[in-house]
Amino acid sequence: MPTAPAPRAGRSVVFVDGVRTPFGRARPDGLYAHTRADDLAVKTVRELLRRHPQLPPERIDDVAIAATTQSGDQGLTLGRTVGVLAGLPRSVPGFAVDRMCAGAMTAVTATAAAIGVGAQDVTLAGGVEHMGRHPMGADAEPNPRFLAERLVDAEALNMGCTAENLHDRDPRLTRERADAYGVASQRKYAEALASGRIDPDLVRVALRDPDHGWGLATADEPPRPGTTVEQIRALPTPFRAGGRVTAGTAAPLTDGAAMCLLAAEDTALELDLAPRMRLVSFAYAGVDPSVMGLGPVPATEKALERAGLSIDDIGLFEINEAFAVQVLAFCDAFGLADDDPRINPYGGAIAVGHPLASSAVRLMTQLARQFAEQPHVRYGLTTMCVGLGQGGTVIWENPHHEESTP
């Protein structure tokens, strides 16, 4: 009888670097109206390789790239096709991921888990979404049983309606709070941009417009600096007459891509790749699809429990702002103030946009930069709600903290 293998301790997984394209508005005259989705992802892969020339491309064990709508220029196994287009060796495999908004998060945690058990050493993980070309759910055919058998509420397939449902279920979640939060997101993003905290994570993208010729994308298109509460107070409520969710308190439809480089900590040391974050734990959770925005709450509770931490141990929060009300519900669940300075210090998706499957890597990259700025903070988390009633949370350790140990 063969001898059973000895139990193996998990390897430490580190976030080495993350980049993203500037985000564009998803509309016919938007930044990327004439740019392919897979080409956006290619730019991010090439930029990571350019920034880390000490990494031999053949050492990359896998490429995981997410997209919520996997068709057209977002189809055909993105991880593999983008890897080939980016010039990676043909020996480097790849795959595609779909967990809607948490696609890139799932790409990160799936490949990180493979690294953790010793199956891989170095991976690329991220996501892309060209919502101007592929509106969410445009070519989907939901099974009629969902509604016929009342498996989900009819409004659960419309994310804006689920945000209105959050407002309905808790009288504390007022439109006034949401409006104030939306304005604060715009202000914080503008301050971060002015202080040079946004541009270092961006990769420029060459553009070709059949009417205007060549151009270069160098900055995010969605932000509206100078937005005031008075300006958004009169905005319509498109998801419900007399509702509370407006364009001022929701992430705009967005095009963009983001990618990160992960490695086992011992491999990072071998290849002279400086860790910017260390993975501590992660968790996904399901909730009633009609209140999709509550997903980050149980996901965070599970991730904290697995890490042996409490919410008081978290010094920085990067929460995806699909809707202001979703962030406010998270704050109320954990006793956090709406204006807690630990939450989204650079603003969030309400300002910069939310290209669905790519957004999690934006959150992670920003958290990594905040860790470097605040070495006194030991733990931070990235969390997001996910369409059809899910949530995902990843907890990270700051390697710059004095008590952080490899």
Catalytic residue set? 101, 354, 385
Specify the length of the chain in residues. Answer: 406
Q: What is the identity of the amino acid at 112?
A: A
CA atoms within 13 A on the CB side of 87: 9
Can you tell me the distance from the alpha carbon of 399 to that of 381, in angstroms, rounded to the nearest whole number? 14
Can you tell me the distance from the alpha carbon of 35 to that of 208, in angstroms, rounded to the nearest whole number? 7
Query: 323 forms bridges with which residues in the sheet?
Result: 250
Radius of gyration of the chain from its Cα atoms, rounded to whole angstroms? 20
Can you tell me the distance from the alpha carbon of 374 to that of 102, in angstroms, rounded to the nearest whole number? 26
346 Cβ contact partners less than 8 Å away, ≥ 6 residues apart:
188, 189, 192, 197, 198, 366, 370
- Do strands 379-386 and 213-217 pair parallel, antiparallel, or not at all (unpaired)? unpaired
343 Cβ contact partners less than 8 Å away, ≥ 6 residues apart:
317, 319, 327, 331, 336
Can you tell me the distance from the alpha carbon of 88 to that of 82, in angstroms, rounded to the nearest whole number? 9
Among the listed residues 329, 168, 325, 180, the one whose alpha carbon sits nearest the alpha carbon of residue 240: 168
Dihedral sign (CA 28, 34, 37, 42) = negative
CA dihedral 63, 66, 70, 73 (to 10 degrees): -60
- Alpha helices in 6-154, H assignment, sequence order: 37-51, 78-85, 103-116, 145-148
Can you tell me the distance from the alpha carbon of 71 to that of 307, in angstroms, rounded to the nearest whole number? 37
Residue with tokens 């941009």: 193
Q: What is the identity of the amino acid at 15?
A: F
- Give the three-state DSSP class for 126: strand
